[in-house]
Chain A
């Protein structure tokens, strides 16, 4: 059983809601990432989502686009992202790590080589934004052989058939994109999320993570009441962007935001 599946089973038993922070590997500099990952775990993160920078991040808003550009400026790549995971695993074998990125870097490396290298590095899940199940069969098979979950997205406009399809092909958890739009989008309507979650829950037993547009502790708390996991990305990366000259300050602000989210999520009404 994969590390993600095991963890989510534990959380379900204890009623714990997972907090999943997202940062882009290599942003603002390559040496920032591993210490930040450890610090996020200490602040209450249950799973870490690590963005693989890509030159053309079509599903991302400006904040994560710029994170990708900063990382690429330091020659961050898929291979070097795997090296980041390897280094993280030296001191943490517990916390699942999910890579989130685009298909082309994986395609360029080759699916077989990637699956092997990702397993060796200690990657637990892979979410490839522009690789829907129709095109993901080869990749998903290989990843599963290497004990890695392929995480698929669901959107507000996903049909019931689509939810069933994701239930069949996905593993680990399903990632519900809570707004139509790119990462870091402005308005998240929690009553819409609540309604859609009814459809999703009726058609899958997989845990559901919810992301896009979650910026503060209050929203994290509300969303934790609906899903099994809360994903937060652009709000953290904004801290990095606001403190490019002072990475220690960025790190501290990220820790504080995550702690406040953790606290709010653990004190459900």
Chain B
């Protein structure tokens, strides 16, 4: 074990992961985040709350999600044994609901009556609209106009669930602008509104809180891996937009220094073209959306537009804990282009009969590269963070097929 992992206990009291994280919000939001932090600290150690969360995980989300040995794909690649953590089998089709279930239970205990959220691919929006429908709470989801066009199916799902989807046409009209607009809503309606942030980013306590809710992924994976193989995995792979599925898988393994952790960012058209969404691989630290973290920005500190085929990864920042894990060398961050992600998409679909989300396809594409370099008795856990149904139109259009 290395010194850093032995000591790993992040964030500090004020929500800092080393220089990252923190509380960079306008004054009107300070009372709101303080109130949230108090509730989060209280309920994460409250037996009734945790029992209710566990019950919902089991009976509503469908947990534990399987850890599936992709035997045919492993054989085909001729290296590590590939195990898929099947977050795509959760209710609503992605890992996002682990977090929305947790946050809505907090909102309920805090007496909030109105829920807002931002969404990129629409998975978090759907997961939020779902838990709001279940509890009968008003739900408003902000979504970039560009994302609304490429994720029409999820927009319709949210509307069916009773949510109001607000199209955001400022800036790049994608996830970061949806976040801006959600923050503006929050500051305006701060008294009755709970903001369910969809990734492990934003002002403290969101990065730690979302991580804690998503860590069910890694806790289960660890137990399942030990049970099925008798040992810990050699490596973990997960895609990274904001990074909530990755931190959820990684966090329970951070102190197991022998387990490699690899986050896969979206290289879009290629890092060298500048048209990508890979702040950890090609950005630098800055302040956006309430936290200090790696960002894609120009020399003047203006945020630059990002690109990825996957709406869920199309974001110029990343959760602050990933920035810290990068700096201390505990996790490694790589990138996969749009083209490579498509190969990953097809590989899993054809080899295992599982259609992955375009976000998760980035992790699959990296698996294509990594698995063959590993030994046959090595174990590689790949987070299959979501299913690909929502991406059928994007894929068909990309391949010139009319549905």
Contact = CB atoms under 8 A, between A and B. Distances in A.
Interface of A: 54-62, 65, 69, 72, 77-79, 102-109, 129-132, 134-135, 152-159, 162, 177, 180-182, 185
Q: Counting chain A CB atoms within 10 Å of each CB, which of B27, B177, B286, B297 scores highest? A: B27
B49 interface: no
B301 A130 contact: no
9 contacts: A55-B303, A56-B289, A59-B26, A59-B187, A108-B299, A108-B300, A130-B24, A180-B187, A181-B188
Interface string B182-203: 0110011111000000000000
B41 interface: no
Nearest to A62: B170
A130 B287 contact: yes
A72 B172 CA distance: 14
B86 interface: no
B25 to A, nearest CB: 6
A104 B303 contact: yes
A158 B27 contact: yes
Given A55-B303, A135-B23, A182-B187, 6 more contacts: A62-B170, A104-B301, A104-B302, A131-B287, A181-B188, A185-B188
8 A-B pairs closest in CB distance: A108-B301, A105-B301, A77-B300, A155-B28, A153-B27, A181-B188, A55-B302, A103-B287
A220 B252 CA distance: 56
B66 interface: no
B300 A181 contact: no
Contacts of A156: 28
A151 to B, nearest CB: 11
A74 B287 CA distance: 23
B27 A56 contact: no
B388 to A, nearest CB: 30
A60 B28 CA distance: 13
Contacts of B287: 102-104, 107, 130-131
A65 B304 CA distance: 16
B300 A78 contact: yes
B22 interface: yes
B12 to A, nearest CB: 12
B171 interface: yes
A182 B301 contact: no
B226 interface: no
Contacts of B292: 107
Contacts of A182: 184, 187-188
B135 interface: no
B24 A135 contact: yes
Nearest to B182: A58
Contact of B23 (A60, A72, A134, A177): A134
B234 to A, nearest CB: 38
A130 B301 CA distance: 14
A75 to B, nearest CB: 9
Given A107-B287, A180-B190, A132 B27 contact: yes
Given A56-B303, A79-B300, A108-B299, A103 B27 contact: no
Contacts of B191: 157, 180
A104 B288 contact: yes
A58 to B, nearest CB: 5
Q: Counting chain A CB atoms within 10 Å of each CB, which of B183, B184, B187, B300 scores highest? A: B300
B176 A108 contact: no
B26 A104 contact: no
B301 A109 contact: yes
Given A79-B300, A104-B287, A159 B31 contact: yes
Contacts of B22: 134-135
B286 A108 contact: yes
Contacts of B289: 56, 58
A203 to B, nearest CB: 15
Contact of B187 (A65, A72, A154, A181): A181
A4 to B, nearest CB: 19
Contacts of A181: 28, 184, 187-188
B257 to A, nearest CB: 32
Q: Counting chain B CB atoms within 10 Å of each CB, which of A55, A61, A153, A157 scores highest? A: A55
Contacts of B32: 157
A105 B302 contact: yes
Contacts of B303: 55-56, 104
Contacts of A154: 27
B14 interface: yes
B15 to A, nearest CB: 9
A5 B74 CA distance: 71
Contact of A132 (B30, B190, B285, B301): B30
Contact of A104 (B180, B184, B286): B286
B203 to A, nearest CB: 9
Given A61-B184, A104-B288, A107-B286, A177 B27 contact: yes
Nearest to B189: A180
B18 interface: no
Contacts of A158: 27, 30-31
A104 to B, nearest CB: 4
Contact of A55 (B27, B171, B290, B299): B171
A58 B183 contact: yes
A180 B26 CA distance: 11
Interface in B310-330: none
